Amino acid sequence: MGWNSIKQGSVDIFQALQQGEIFAIDNNDPMCLRSLIDPEKQFCVGSLKDGRDPCYGDTGGPILQWMDNRWEQ
C-alpha cells in the first residue's frame, strides 16, 4: 500500500492510495540477501509473476493481510 505520486515542478503531488498483491519471498533468495539488514526482524516481499514491488519511497510501509473479515497489520 502506498501513495501514487507524481512530480509537478519540484513538488510531489499524492493522488490516490494504491494497493497491490505481494507475497513473502524466502529470505535466502539472492535478491533478499543483499537487501536485509536484520533478517530476524525483516522479511522480503514481492510479486513472482509480474515483477511488481513497493515503489521507491514506499519501503518500510505496512504489510496488511485480510483475516477474519478485516484487514490486519
The pTM of the full predicted model, rounded to 2 decimals, is 0.49
Residue whose C-alpha is closest to residue 20's, from 53, 59, 48, 65:
53
Strand 23-25 with 11-18, pairing: unpaired
Q: What are phi and psi of 7, to 5 degrees?
A: -95, 135
**Structural domain boundaries in the chain:** 24-56
Q: What is the pLDDT of residues 7-61, one digit of tens each?
A: 666 666 666 666 677 788 888 888 787 878 888 888 887 775 665 556 655 666 6
Q: How many CA atoms lie within 13 A of 65 on its CB side?
A: 6
Residue whose C-alpha is closest to residue 57's, from 3, 6, 13, 15:
3
> Per DSSP, what are the bridge partners of residue 72?
65
